[in-house]
Amino acid sequence: MRHLLSAGDLDRDAALLILDTAAEMAALSDRSVKKLPTLRGRTVVNLFFEDSTRTRISFELAAKRLSADVINFAAKGSSVSKGESLKDTALTLEAMGADAVVIRHWDSGAPYRLAHADWIGGSVVNAGDGTHEHPTQALLDAYTMRRHLRDGTGALEGVRVGIVGDILHSRVARSNVLLLQTLGAEVTLVAPPTLLPIGIEQWPCDVSYDIDAVLPNVDAVMMLRVQAERMQDAYFPTAREYSRLYGLDGERMRLLPEHAIVMHPGPMNRGMEISAEVADSARAVMVEQVANGVSVRMAVLYLLLGGAKELGE
Amino acid sequence: MTAYVFRGVRPYGEAAVDIVVVDGVITELAAPGTGVGEVIEADGLIALPGFVDLHTHLREPGREDAETIESGSQAAALGGYTCVHAMANTDPVADTAGVVEQVWRIGREVGLVDVRPVGAVTVNLDGRALAEIGAMAGSAAAVTVFSDDGRCVHDALLMRRALEYVKAFGGVVAQHAQEPRLTENAQMNEGVLSGRLGMVGWPAVAEEAIIARDVLLAEHVDSRLHACHVSTAGSVEVIRWAKSRGVDVTAEVTPHHLILTEDLVETYDPVYKVNPPLRRTEDVLALRAALADGTIDALATDHAPHPHEHKDCEWGAAAMGMLGLQTAFSVVMETMVEPGLLDWRGVADRMSVQPARIGGVATQGQPIAVGSIANIVVIDPDAHWTVVPAALASKSSNTPYAERTFPGVVVHTMHAGRPTVIGGALA
């Protein structure tokens, strides 16, 4: 594996290798010195065209724990017509000897373009592209589910996952559907019809407009961030109505089976898609998701940048 | 007196003759080997009336780095064209008599094809106020086709008025059918693939709804409508229905919508980014059938040159459009002639006769017959060629067919009695 662009690029063995490697990396963070020398002398660039402090910090920490040199390149711009082009930025990074580029971009497919347009030679990691994919988020979600469900045995076959919210604009949902299908889980997407893409009936998952019917039958429910501004494009009438029909509050949470967990990729809109009671409850694993994100990203960088060989030795 | 002889050529693929051209006019269809004049070898090749393009972006004035009237005329001649209609979305926009006369005059100076300017429907293509359509019609350029191409005349009242107003000049409104609210920031055909790729979709209904509205408006005010670059099976159905009602509507399809499908977007290579977007296989097949049965009247290239940096980037940042003039005939050859959907008279009709009629160009689209003005293309249907982007005459290289091998080669082109292309090269 040279790049990680889509969760759909991972077959079952590749996905499990990353998740198992992440577990080994997690053991490291329990030690007093949380660092491996594996990527010493390698350079990882965090190329963020979109603000995302939490994802950027997670990748930065992951790379540093592997002893890589990390450069944060905030190529922020409000419009594609302003500032330096992706190509020129890529050529610059290539000239500086970047071994891996972690890219967050507002345009769907930008990481794929970066990996295939012959601009750079290093590895490309998709840290979220437009409304397309966010594969490391799906990996950390799967990692979190493995630890919590099925007594921590790691088997996700047959696990039922509900993903609720703005599916249309969600790269998290797309990557999760692909990865969870590969791992044998059963996904149900829940949203108002306006926030589901055309053609969703052909996705490898179920779809429902009724959160109350879905919650009693899932092992994990993932609440997606919904921007209140969406109502200006008539996706829903008001934030209040959205919250009433699709938000997860304490009463709805009690529809979940006893063992079910509540997930959220963050940042949360408390009071919109999730109530404070739920967010602060014992079922909520959001803080753990963040910690797991570092382990998973360590595993991805480690495997992409040639650590696999050492791992096998 | 200047005399040329196309030696042993087969008009419309029929019996071989010598086409004799004297002072710009076909004077004789003589027995092979008997015509007198400067000989242009064409033994066994096929002669058709020179192609007429209803939809060309020549980019001059304003974006001469992408294309000029000269480079675009060269590409057109090499593609077998003897007339192109230059779209109005230049900078400045062709919304005044001054701009259309300038384009027309430079076209005449270059002299490789008839350059027929298209006038804007609304001032600056803004969709708010009618441009001076009468002044453009009455100018030396004698504009008859009006279009805001690139943008849709989406205001129903303004569209009605434009359709009414052009009746006074025998004009036609060529509509770029795209409902703007349904296509905000749209990147590709809306469907399963756009959902998976996370791209904002350009739904078929955004085209079909405008065409449906416009054919009803054209019927209501008894005017002429032309639908640009029809791209969906549903649009074909609407146009077929309108024609059956007797509405005076014509339609064009681009070569790329006859041969390419949306799955190419999976490469995220912006060379496939075009407006309207590439559609499904079902649409491609419906468009071919419609061009074959005449529901769609004409092929039109929508030749849209863009400088390299506007395509050598990520998808969302890229410009929409692709080159078309030099590959159009070969696409028709592969998608229409070889499968038996069009014979040579059919090709002549869809690529020359109908576009000349729609554009109101009496000097073009004339038959290969004694007395016709000598606008002639000679093609070799048995030869193949491979597209090399940098070798195209256009100043841009954004062809979606790089390295693709096509059937059908344009060998000679004659514009108004003067050879512009001989042996596949500019004369």
Please, what are the domains in chain B? 3-46+373-426 (2.30.40.10), 50-359 (3.20.20.140)
Number of CB atoms found within 10 A of residue A154's CB: 17
Pair (A297, A250) in one structural domain: no
Comparing C-alpha atoms, which of A224, A102, A250, A232 is closest to residue A165? A224
- Residue A81 confidence (pLDDT): 46
Pair (A39, A154) in one structural domain: no
Do residues B380 and B368 touch, judged by C-beta distance below 8 A? no
Q: Which residues of A touch B269 (CB under 8 A)?
A: 113
DSSP label of B94: S
CA dihedral sign of residues B265, B150, B296, B292: negative
Calculate what percentage of chain B has a pLDDT beyond 70.
Answer: 100
DSSP label of B261: -
**Is the pLDDT score of B112 beyond 60?**
yes
Calculate what percentage of chain B has a pLDDT beyond 90.
Answer: 100
CA distance B29 to B1: 18
Rounded to 5 degrees, what angle do the CA atoms A40, A43, A46 make?
130
Instruction: Report pLDDT digits (tens) over B129-159.
Output: 999 999 999 999 999 999 999 999 999 999 9
* Interface predicted TM-score of the whole assembly (ipTM), two decimals: 0.91
- Residue A232 confidence (pLDDT): 80
List Cβ neighbours of B351 (8 Å cut-off, separation of 6 or more).
Answer: B48, B51, B52, B298, B299, B328, B329, B332
- Residue A201 confidence (pLDDT): 95
Task: Determine the average pLDDT of the residues in A71-86.
Answer: 68
Instruction: Report pLDDT digits (tens) over B229-271.
Output: 999 999 999 999 999 999 999 999 999 999 999 999 999 999 9
Question: Taking CA atoms, what residue in A is nearest to B312?
Answer: A87
**Is the pLDDT score of A313 beyond 50?**
no
Higher-scoring residue by pLDDT: B59, A30: B59
Task: Determine the average pLDDT of the residues in B82-99.
Answer: 98
Q: Which residues of B touch A207 (CB under 8 A)?
A: none
**Is the pLDDT score of A228 beyond 80?**
no
Residue A304 within a domain: yes
- Residue A75 confidence (pLDDT): 75
Q: Do B313 and A105 touch (CB under 8 A)?
A: no
Looking at residue A165, its amino acid is: G
Q: Do B197 and A198 touch (CB under 8 A)?
A: no
Comparing C-alpha atoms, which of A294, A249, A312, A299 is closest to residue A60? A294
Q: Which residues of B touch A129 (CB under 8 A)?
A: 198
* CB-count burial class (<10 Å; 0-12, 13-18, 19+) for A245: middle
Q: How long is chain A?
A: 313
**Is the pLDDT score of A80 beyond 80?**
no
Question: Taking CA atoms, what residue in B is nearest to A110?
Answer: B314
Q: How confident is the model at residue A307 (pLDDT cuts 50, 70, 90)?
A: low
Looking at residue B313, its amino acid is: C
**Is the pLDDT score of B336 beyond 70?**
yes
Instruction: Give Cα separations from B73 to B80, B109, B255, B376, B378 (angstroms).
Output: 11, 11, 18, 15, 17
Pair (A114, A141) in one structural domain: no
Residue A93 within a domain: yes
Mutation target vs A (from B196, B262, B264, B310; most A CBs, 10 A cutoff)? B196
Residue A45 within a domain: yes
Task: Determine the average pLDDT of the residues in A125-133.
Answer: 97
- Average of per-residue pLDDT values in chain A: 92
Task: Determine the average pLDDT of the residues in B115-134.
Answer: 98
**Is the pLDDT score of A310 beyond 80?**
no
**Is the pLDDT score of B371 beyond 70?**
yes
**Concatenated DSSP letters for chain A?**
---B--GGG--HHHHHHHHHHHHHHHHHTTSSS----TTTT-EEEEEESS--HHHHHHHHHHHHHTT-EEEEE----SSTTSSS-HHHHHHHHHHTT-SEEEEEESSTTHHHHHHHSSS--SEEEEEEETTTB-HHHHHHHHHHHHHHSGGGT---TT-EEEEES--TT-HHHHHHHHHHHHTT-EEEEE--GGGS-TTGGGSSSEEES-HHHHGGG-SEEEEPP--GGGGGGTSSS-HHHHHHHH-B-HHHHTTS-TT-EEE--S---BTTTB-HHHHTSTTB-HHHHHHHHHHHHHHHHHHHTTHHHHHH-
Q: How confident is the model at residue A76 (pLDDT cuts 50, 70, 90)?
A: low
Q: Total domain count for chain A? A: 2
Q: How confident is the model at residue A209 (pLDDT cuts 50, 70, 90)?
A: very high
Question: Taking CA atoms, what residue in A is nearest to B202?
Answer: A198
Residue A1 within a domain: no
- Residue A268 confidence (pLDDT): 94
Mutation target vs A (from B197, B311, B312; most A CBs, 10 A cutoff)? B197
Q: Which of residues 195-224 of A touch B (CB under 8 A)?
A: 197-200, 202-203
Considering the candidates B149, B214, B302, B380, report the single residue annotated as catalytic.
B302
Helix axes A135-148, A171-182, angle to 10 degrees: 50
Give the domain extent around A226. 135-285
- Residue A85 confidence (pLDDT): 84
Residue A106 within a domain: yes
- Residue B102 confidence (pLDDT): 98
Tokens of B23: 């002072």
Pair (A112, A203) in one structural domain: no
Pair (A264, A143) in one structural domain: yes
Question: Taking CA atoms, what residue in B is nearest to A89?
Answer: B313
- Residue A82 confidence (pLDDT): 55
The reply to whether omega before A37 is within 30° of 0 (cis) is: no
**Is the pLDDT score of A104 beyond 90?**
yes
Question: Taking CA atoms, what residue in B is nearest to A175?
Answer: B196
List residues of chain B with CB under 8 Å from any CB of chain A: 187, 190-201, 203, 267-269, 309, 312-317
- Residue A77 confidence (pLDDT): 54
Task: Determine the average pLDDT of the residues in A79-102.
Answer: 82
Residue with tokens 């007797």: B246
Pair (A186, A272) in one structural domain: yes
**Is the pLDDT score of A32 beyond 60?**
yes
- Average of per-residue pLDDT values in chain B: 98
Q: Do B198 and A80 touch (CB under 8 A)?
A: no
Q: In Å, how far is A199's CA from the nearest CA of chain B?
A: 4
Pair (A304, A212) in one structural domain: no
Pair (A140, A203) in one structural domain: yes
Q: How confident is the model at residue A31 (pLDDT cuts 50, 70, 90)?
A: confident
Q: Do B198 and A86 touch (CB under 8 A)?
A: no
Instruction: Report pLDDT digits (tens) over A145-179.
Output: 999 998 888 899 999 999 999 999 999 999 999 99
Pair (A196, A100) in one structural domain: no
Q: Which residues of A touch B203 (CB under 8 A)?
A: 198
Residue A103 within a domain: yes
- Residue A28 confidence (pLDDT): 82
**Is the pLDDT score of A265 beyond 60?**
yes
H-helix or E-strand spanning residue B195 = helix B192-197
Q: In Å, how far is A236's CA from the nearest CA of chain B?
A: 17
Instruction: Give Cα separations from A228 to A196, A239, A265, B69 (angstroms).
Output: 16, 6, 17, 50
Number of CB atoms found within 10 A of residue B274's CB: 24
Least confident of A32-46, A247-261, A270-284: A32-46
Do residues A173 and A192 touch, judged by C-beta distance below 8 A? no
Residue A2 within a domain: no
Residue A302 within a domain: yes
CATH number at residue A50: 3.40.50.1370
Do residues B334 and B70 touch, judged by C-beta distance below 8 A? no
CA distance A239 to A230: 9
Known catalytic residue at B343: no
Pair (A143, A256) in one structural domain: yes
Q: Do A117 and B312 touch (CB under 8 A)?
A: yes
For B198, which of A81, A108, A113 is closest by C-beta distance? A108
Task: Determine the average pLDDT of the residues in B118-136.
Answer: 97
Instruction: Report pLDDT digits (tens) over B175-219.
Output: 999 999 999 999 999 999 999 999 999 999 999 999 999 999 999
> Is any Cβ of chain B less than 8 angstroms from the Cβ of A132?
yes
Pair (A20, A116) in one structural domain: yes
- Could you tell me the end-to-end alpha-carbon distance of chain B, in angstroms, rounded to an integer? 19
Pair (A112, A239) in one structural domain: no
**Is the pLDDT score of A311 beyond 50?**
no
